[in-house]
């Protein structure tokens, strides 16, 4: 085992990870040694696929304000967002958009050279800044280029982390496998930032990349860190049939319509004033209600029912300028030119609102009250509670950027003052982890990780989708429990040392199964419908009993202890959502 020493270890190189690396480096004036770890080449991080844009108030003269952005976000969250965190988000998002401008992101501009903003769901006014429909790619390219110039930051591409190591409740190190060689490594660090993205891959029908397996969340959970609001998984209304590839909300922001099998714009029955630009939870429920009423269209090849996204009335030049990737995707995947034909879409797992329980500074919590010293979470893996029960589109990239700066600075301050860890205890923990991986590789027979993952995806797609029922959730829980047992005897058939993707897949599968169990447990307990969690038996939001966050802590090898923590309300009292 190789041992490497850094001041800060950042697990993840998406927009959250890279932003925090840059700000940690700036804050320490280049003095701290920083490691950024990614299980694939950093530029393949999931953030590159973000399409529609990043939210922030740029122009006050046009009727927009931070207060309106906060209100939209809180109402969109179905009042589960922590309002102090939302206020922090909207106050700082404009500064971060300018920061990205300065490091080279080519934001779309009008003929007057002013940065343009497009409409997004649940936002009262166009406030989403964009770079065509490839926003994430341009942001990642700028971040990567910038980070490469920082002499104190080392990037570990294609290193897979298997454990976060703590010493007496304090950050100590990260254990990882170099995928190119299978060499095992320990990175010692005084500060750890977890930035490993979401876990939508618990579903088969999802917009997210193969890498979105919630590893960092599962590692934190096993290390004793609590998770928050895991039952809230966002279903984006427009997943392309049958692949699940995202058709960005920008398509509706630019004027696209949703139609049922009668050709009717059914959103007027569900959100008369916002229509196709209502929040995602409301549109996804509406689509599934239409399908339930027999107003869906059957896609014979996949057996899935869908509705139509209609862009035919949009100016062709507008599609070419603002939605080039969507056009490319529909032509390549289905042979559909969106200016001539409608696009078949249905709700698809897209974003995970829940994740590592943090305070407003992104500092991870061991349980409801105690911090995990020296550990922060940022981006989709962290639940700082700005999205609550339903994220508004384009708020994730602002969250990654705003908290990237916050946690980068906090982690740097900690690393500059913290004492060194007990090396002996840490090395013993690392040796145990090395033994666990070696035993896994030595196992000759056992459960097939691909079968486990296939079954998990089937359970989640069929039983834990847009509308949930108690008996179906119980069925899912039972199935997941069985899969968790199978994970104990998972086998890696490929014994090679070079790019052993079979080993990586087995470890990711165990992480997914562990997290799915927490999702289902939280969903079963929450007896109301709020945002992305819609229960057939409890169709209404119930603020009296359920205006609270779900907090999950791992108990023993398979137990899940659920408790609740209050939602922070500053100015906006919960009210009925009308769009």
Ligand X SMILES: Cc1cc2nc3c(=O)[nH]c(=O)nc-3n(C[C@H](O)[C@H](O)[C@H](O)COP(=O)(O)OP(=O)(O)OC[C@H]3O[C@@H](n4cnc5c(N)ncnc54)[C@H](O)[C@@H]3O)c2cc1C
The window from 43-51, 313-321, 447-455, 520-528 that contacts ligand X (CB under 6 A) reads 43-51
The answer to the question of residue 122 lying near ligand X (CB under 6 A) is no
Task: Quote the distance between the C-alpha of residue 293 and its chain's center.
Answer: 31
The window from 212-220, 426-434, 468-476, 566-574 that contacts ligand X (CB under 6 A) reads 212-220
Residue 315 is given by DSSP the state -
The answer to the question of residue 350 lying near ligand X (CB under 6 A) is yes
The answer to the question of residue 40 lying near ligand X (CB under 6 A) is yes
- Strands 382-383, 467-468: pairing kind: unpaired
With contact defined as beta carbons under 8 Å apart, do 51 and 325 qualify?
A: yes
As a whole number of angstroms, the distance between CA 240 and CA 96 comes to 31
| Residues 158-177, mask of contacts with ligand X (x by CB under 6 A) | --xx----------------
Q: Which is nearer to ligand X, 16 or 479 (CB)?
A: 16
The answer to the question of residue 252 lying near ligand X (CB under 6 A) is no
* Shortest CB 216 distance to ligand X, Å: 6
The runs of H, that is alpha helices, within 47-127 are 66-76, 83-102
Nearest to 205 by CA among 490, 480, 466, 517: 466
* Shortest CB 119 distance to ligand X, Å: 13
The answer to the question of residue 51 lying near ligand X (CB under 6 A) is yes
The window from 50-58, 251-259, 440-448, 571-579 that contacts ligand X (CB under 6 A) reads 50-58
* Shortest CB 355 distance to ligand X, Å: 9
The answer to the question of residue 407 lying near ligand X (CB under 6 A) is no
Q: Which is nearer to ligand X, 177 or 291 (CB)?
A: 177
Nearest to 262 by CA among 293, 285, 236, 304: 293
Number of C-beta neighbours around residue 547 at 10 A: 18
The answer to the question of residue 49 lying near ligand X (CB under 6 A) is yes
The window from 13-21, 253-261, 263-271, 463-471 that contacts ligand X (CB under 6 A) reads 13-21
Peptide bond into 242 cis (omega under 30): yes
* Shortest CB 268 distance to ligand X, Å: 26
With contact defined as beta carbons under 8 Å apart, do 23 and 413 qualify?
A: no
Q: Which is nearer to ligand X, 347 or 379 (CB)?
A: 379
Number of C-beta neighbours around residue 252 at 10 A: 27
The answer to the question of residue 94 lying near ligand X (CB under 6 A) is no
* Shortest CB 183 distance to ligand X, Å: 15
Q: Which is nearer to ligand X, 49 or 261 (CB)?
A: 49
The answer to the question of residue 15 lying near ligand X (CB under 6 A) is yes
The answer to the question of residue 20 lying near ligand X (CB under 6 A) is no
The answer to the question of residue 207 lying near ligand X (CB under 6 A) is yes
- Three-state DSSP string of 406-463: HHHHHHHHHHHHCCCCCHHHHHHHHHHHHHHHHHHHHCCCCECHHHHHHHHHHHHHHH
The window from 74-82, 211-219, 284-292, 426-434 that contacts ligand X (CB under 6 A) reads 211-219
The answer to the question of residue 379 lying near ligand X (CB under 6 A) is yes
The answer to the question of residue 14 lying near ligand X (CB under 6 A) is yes
Residue 567 is given by DSSP the state P
* Shortest CB 262 distance to ligand X, Å: 30
Return the residues of window 449-468 that contact ligand X according to CB under 6 A. Answer: none
The answer to the question of residue 17 lying near ligand X (CB under 6 A) is yes
* Shortest CB 133 distance to ligand X, Å: 8
The window from 34-42, 254-262, 289-297, 424-432 that contacts ligand X (CB under 6 A) reads 34-42
- Return phi, psi of residue 425, to 5°: -60, -40
Number of C-beta neighbours around residue 535 at 10 A: 19
The answer to the question of residue 13 lying near ligand X (CB under 6 A) is yes
- 109 is written with which tokens? 């501009």
The answer to the question of residue 39 lying near ligand X (CB under 6 A) is yes
Cα-Cα-Cα-Cα torsion 510, 513, 519, 520, nearest 10 degrees, comes to: -150
The answer to the question of residue 433 lying near ligand X (CB under 6 A) is no
Binding residues for ligand X, how many (CB under 6 A)?
45
Q: Which is nearer to ligand X, 126 or 574 (CB)?
A: 126
Catalytic residue set: 236, 252
Nearest to 80 by CA among 287, 347, 354, 349: 354
Scored b (16 or more CB within 10 A) or e, 323-341 reads bebbbebbeeebebebbee
As a whole number of angstroms, the distance between CA 98 and CA 492 comes to 47
- 455 is written with which tokens? 């079954």
Assign 3-state DSSP to the chain and report helix, strand, coil percentages, each to 5. Answer: 40, 20, 40
Question: Which one of 397, 516, 535, 567 is in contact with ligand X (CB under 6 A)?
Answer: 397
The answer to the question of residue 195 lying near ligand X (CB under 6 A) is yes
Nearest to 194 by CA among 17, 8, 438, 439: 17
Cα-Cα-Cα-Cα torsion 296, 202, 9, 152, nearest 10 degrees, comes to: -40
* Shortest CB 417 distance to ligand X, Å: 26
Question: Which one of 22, 53, 188, 286 is in contact with ligand X (CB under 6 A)?
Answer: 53
Question: Which one of 73, 92, 117, 208 is in contact with ligand X (CB under 6 A)?
Answer: 208
As a whole number of angstroms, the distance between CA 532 and CA 284 comes to 9
As a whole number of angstroms, the distance between CA 282 and CA 261 comes to 19
As a whole number of angstroms, the distance between CA 273 and CA 574 comes to 20
The answer to the question of residue 215 lying near ligand X (CB under 6 A) is yes
Q: Which is nearer to ligand X, 123 or 567 (CB)?
A: 123
* Shortest CB 243 distance to ligand X, Å: 12
Question: Which one of 94, 122, 173, 216 is in contact with ligand X (CB under 6 A)?
Answer: 216
- Can you give the binding site for ligand X, defined by CB under 6 A? 11-17, 37-40, 42, 45-47, 49-54, 135-136, 160-161, 195-197, 207-208, 211-212, 215-216, 246, 350-351, 379-381, 394-397, 400
């Amino acid at each position: 085992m190789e041992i490497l020493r850094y001041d800060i270890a950042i697990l993840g190189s998406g927009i959250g990870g890279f932003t925090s690396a840059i700000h940690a480096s700036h804050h320490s004036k280049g003095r701290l040694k920083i490691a950024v770890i990614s299980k694939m080449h950093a530029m393949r991080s999931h953030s590159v696929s973000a399409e529609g844009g990043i939210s922030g108030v740029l122009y006050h003269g046009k009727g927009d304000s931070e207060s309106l952005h906060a209100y939209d976000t809180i109402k969109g969250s179905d009042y589960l967002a922590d309002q102090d965190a939302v206020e922090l988000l909207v106050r700082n998002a404009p500064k971060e958009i300018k920061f990205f401008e300065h490091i080279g992101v080519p934001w779309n501009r009008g003929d007057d050279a002013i940065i343009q903003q497009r409409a997004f769901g649940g936002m009262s006014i166009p406030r989403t800044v964009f770079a065509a429909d490839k926003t994430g790619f341009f942001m990642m390219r700028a971040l990567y280029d910038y980070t490469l110039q920082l002499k104190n930051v080392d990037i570990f591409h294609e290193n897979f982390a298997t454990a976060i190591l703590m010493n007496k409740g304090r950050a100590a190190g990260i254990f990882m496998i170099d995928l190119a060689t299978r060499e095992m490594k320990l990175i010692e660090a005084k500060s750890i930032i977890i930035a490993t993205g979401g876990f939508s891959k618990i579903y088969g029908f999802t917009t997210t990349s193969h890498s979105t397996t919630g590893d960092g969340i599962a590692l934190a959970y096993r290390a004793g860190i609590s998770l928050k609001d895991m039952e809230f998984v966002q279903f984006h209304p427009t997943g392309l049939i049958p692949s699940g590839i995202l058709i960005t909300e920008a398509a509706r922001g630019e004027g696209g319509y949703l139609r049922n099998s009668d050709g009717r714009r059914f959103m007027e029955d569900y959100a008369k004033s916002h229509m196709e630009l209502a929040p995602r939870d409301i549109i996804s429920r509406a689509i599934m209600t239409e399908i339930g009423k027999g107003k869906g269209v059957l896609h014979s090849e996949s057996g899935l029912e869908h509705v139509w996204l209609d862009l035919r009335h949009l100016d062709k030049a507008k599609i070419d300028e603002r939605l080039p990737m969507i056009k490319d995707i529909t032509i390549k995947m289905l042979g559909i030119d969106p200016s001539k034909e409608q696009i078949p879409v249905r709700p698809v797992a897209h974003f995970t609102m829940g994740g590592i329980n943090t305070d407003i500074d992104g500092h991870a919590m061991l349980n409801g009250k105690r911090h995990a010293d020296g550990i922060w979470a940022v981006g989709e893996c962290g639940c700082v509670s700005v999205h609550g029960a339903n994220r508004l589109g384009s708020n994730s990239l602002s969250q990654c950027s705003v908290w990237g700066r916050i946690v980068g600075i906090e982690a740097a301050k900690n690393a500059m003052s913290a004492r060194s860890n007990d090396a002996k205890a840490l090395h013993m923990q690392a040796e145990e982890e090395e033994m666990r991986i070696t035993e896994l590789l030595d196992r000759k027979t056992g459960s097939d990780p691909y079968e486990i993952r296939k079954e998990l995806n089937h359970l989640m797609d069929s039983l834990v989708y847009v509308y949930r029922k108690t008996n179906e959730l119980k069925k899912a829980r039972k199935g997941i429990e069985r899969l968790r047992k199978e994970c104990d005897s998972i086998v890696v058939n490929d014994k090679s040392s070079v790019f052993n993707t079979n080993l990586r897949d087995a470890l990711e599968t165990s992480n997914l199964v562990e997290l799915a169990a927490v999702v289902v447990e939280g969903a079963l307990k929450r007896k109301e419908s709020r945002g992305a969690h819609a229960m057939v038996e409890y169709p209404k939001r119930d603020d009296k009993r359920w205006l609270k966050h779900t907090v999950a802590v791992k108990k023993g090898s398979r137990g899940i202890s659920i408790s609740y923590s209050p939602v922070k309300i500053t100015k906006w009292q919960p009210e009925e959502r009308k769009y």
